[in-house]
Chains A and B, each alone.
Chain A
Amino acid sequence: MILRRIRLSRVACFLEGVETDPLDPGLNILAANNEEGKSTLVRAAARALFDRYSGKSQEIRNLQPAGTDLGPRVTVEFSNGREVFRLEKQFLQSAGSRLYRKNNDKWDLLAEGDKADRRTLELAGGEQPGAGATKPQHWGFLRYLWARQEEPAAWPSWDGNAGGRVRATLARVEVDPVADSLEAALTGRFHECFTPNGQVKRNGPLHALTGELEALEAELAEVAAGRLRLEEQQEAFGRLSEELRVLRGEKERTREEADRLIEAARRAESASREVRTLQKALAEADERLQAVDRDAEKRKRTESEQAANREKTEAAEARVERLQRIRRELEERLARVEREGRGVEQAVRRLKAEQAGVQLRLRIAAARESLAEKKELLEKIEAREAELQAKERDRAGLPRLSGKRLEALRALAGEIRDLKNRLAAAGLAVSVTAAQDRTMETDTPEEGRRSHRLEGGKSADFAAARELVVHLPEWGRIEIRSGAAEVREKQQALETAKENLAAALRELGTERFEDLEVACARARELDADLKNLRQGIGDVLGRFGSADDLRRTVREEEAALGKLLESNAAGDGPDGCDPDELRRRDRENERKRQSLEEEHAAKQREAEQLRRDLTANSRECGEAEGERNRLRTAAVVLETRLKEMAERYGDGGLEEARRRAGREFVQAEARLEEAKRLLPEDWEALPGRRDRAVKAASEAGAEHDRRREALLRMEGEMRQRGSEGLYSREVRLREKIALKREEAGALRRRSGAAGFLATLLGFRKREAFERVLAPLEEQLSVQFGELTGRRERRVFLDENLQVTGVGRDRESGIPFESLSQGAREQLLLALRAAVALELAEEEPQVLILDDVLVNTDPTRQQRVLDFLESLARRVQILVLTCHPDRYRGVGQRLALHPVREDETGTPG
């Protein structure tokens, strides 16, 4: 349907009649300010086309001019591409409807009233609502092709007949609600049992079944394990029973063996005890026999000892007697010799006393002589010592220095002299010649001030080392100085040498070197004299070290002489005899004394010999008496021993005892042999074997009992388990499990299949839509590209033909809601254009744009105009705008013309 002309009267602001220019099949621009009724025009036309003339709803009343109850009147001329129609409709007051068809410049009335409404609705593709006024969804394609100013920037849904038809036309596919429901139902079925991830859903029926199944299977496993264990036990039981049988045999066998060995060991033990007893008896018999033999031997020996003892005793007694006699003789001789010895001794003592007096007097004489000599010597020495002391005193006043030192000083004096000479040679020399005799003075550092007598006409020379002051009478003083360096040095050396020499001399107590040389010569002479004197004294002293030694000796000898004199006074000899006489008497006494002493020594030696003989005799005598006594005692012992033996063996005597003991030994030996014969050969090993066998029997018995015990326990357990009906329990569990498993399996299969089917269905639906959507998306993308100038972008739709996004591909496109307001308007315009173009293939279509693209900036406006012009070649476009400047130069500009009331006519 396209529009040809619209005329209104008594509609809203158009109280008077108004009419558009005839609309162009292409682009029409109706420019007017807001509130001038552009939208009212189109809305009133829509009410006329789609609402019943008899309608009285608020929407219809809204058409009335404000504050009036006038009946709004609308006339619309339109075309379906083949024929042109005219609809005249008046609402409310004098309501009516008439439809005309153009027939060569005149209008043929086609229908009136309801019929006219129905026919119009058919032609316009609208629908009647159940009650009330129509809404956009009843306006057929205009719902999609009329962009209303007040409408939000969203695409209307595709529900309703028109939606379906548009969609069918566009996508050429029916959206199948059954398929949708089926998909939902299948998904629901799947999700009863599974989570979206494909896991079994907790609290779902499958989960419950699986849980029950697991519990049953766990119980079954337990029962089966019990059964298995019983079967294993039964198998083990058979094996163990056989083992037990073997063990029982072993137990009995080992017991018997142990009993046998116990008895054998017991017998062997008793036999061996018997053997031991008999062995002991034999040993005792042997011992007795040997004791008798020993006693016989002993008696024989004792008797022979007794005989020998008797002979020895007699010999010992004879010897004792002889020795005692010799002793008496010796004692007599000794007494005599001792007596004679004592007489000689007394004579010697007397002689000795006499001799001592003579010798004392001799010693006194010698002492007196020696003392006199020494006193003389001492006097001589004391005279020489006095001389020596005088000389030493002289020597002490002279200096003491070594020859070397003197030589050094001498060299120093020589040096000074030398230096003086040199200075005199190198120094100042002044020659003075006076006209007349004169006295003058010089003053030099070397010589000091000196006075000189000058003879007239004769030159006198003066020299000085460095400095020479000449005092000339009546003339004054002339000072002459040398500036030479050598002179200065020598002068200095000279000073130093002088100082050194002076210091040395001071030390030696002299002022001049010449004095020193004289003193030294004198000292040498004195030293030689002293030496000679000392030598002389030494020679005189001789064996005495010193004069003092000599004096001490003199004192000592005086004291010794004093003592000798004292002793003599005490003695009996006279003091002052002739020493030679004394010496002769002394020699006489000596000779007498020697002869007496020899006699005394001979007596003593004889007595000594006699004493030694006496001692030897006494020892021999003691020994002989001891021997005799020992033999006597031994004889008593032997006697006693024999007496004892005779008492011990009594009447039968030793021989009878010997016979008896021999008999007993032979008997004991025979009895032992018999007992040994009765002892088994391996009797010693028997107790060990017996212990082993007992232990083996005990072990075998314990093992058997233990096994039997275990087997009995096992048997009890097996009986218990056997009566538990394990198989039946297992069977019932298996039956339950089979049921549950079947149930769970079926549920799982069904749910899984439902899930898969849902996926498959979704896949096929998507695929179908994608297939039919592709051309529409292509066209939409082209339109949108035209409109925006960005042709690289594609527009994507979903199966409900809603824009899902814009971009390079489906996944990364920008969602519609995220686009800018301007982009959304453009996109919707492109969609409307695409829809219009698709619909225009079958029938011309009008696209009404009521102040859309208000958000489009002026720079894009040119593209919009390009787009609209291009679109207008195939689709009628009615632009309502309050921005006429934006649409200058394009399409046909429509104007509203007032019309008179009568011109509008009145429908019947």
Chain B
Amino acid sequence: MPRTAENNLISLRGVTRIYRMGVERIHALDGVDLDVKPNEYLAVMGPSGSGKSTLMNLLGCLDRPSSGTYDLDGRRTTDLGAAALARVRNERIGFVFQSFELLPRQTALRNVELPLIYAERGWWGSRERARRALERVGLGDRLRHRPNQLSGGQKQRVAIARALVNNPAILLADEPTGNLDSATSNEILDVFDQLHAEGQTIIIVTHEAAVAARVHRVVHMMDGKIHLDLPRAEDPILRAALGGAQTTAERARPRRTPAAAEPEGPP
């Protein structure tokens, strides 16, 4: 699968993230390479401690790698300062969190407007853009509601609208359905599907197979490394989890890390 830097939206090369816990050094990420093309629909899966949250933070420019490079939309982000990274987050990245993170005293409209007040561009029409973003996620009739007047699903829609309001290059969702029941989860996932159909690049971090079942590509993390990176249809772990039939032909091989644990692979 040839990947050229030019048409990659995201390009990670040899990304390592080391935390110091006293004298101990923990490799949260250990030499990760990852490429994401525009309009990909991708899930990052893995057990806790596998490094998927660290990867998410790096992709969202909330954190910087200890070594390696991260190009977002053809631009090197690894040598940017705090203010420049904030601008990248503001203009190129939309975050959706598990616990919504809405400002409790502000209306839905105000919450969605939040990224725009930090935007470099003018504010002209920011109210209008916030309203359109809410309409896009089906909340055109809840503009003046405060978070405590909204259901969990509606709150997450507001959060998605907030992530979309600045037309980000990528939408990063961290366990977006973690606090929701299954019916509401499906509703939210339908919103993601629709956004993807409209051309949005989406990366979802999740441990739920039902969430990953919607995406087109699944990246499995293990011990700070990418353990599997396959189209969803070919992903053996997901298949097993979803209880689907599994054939040898569809069995996956580890892409780059034969030494890593590969529970299903034949010897």
Does A associate with B in a complex? no
Chain B residues close to A by CB (< 8 Å): none
Chain A residues close to B by CB (< 8 Å): none
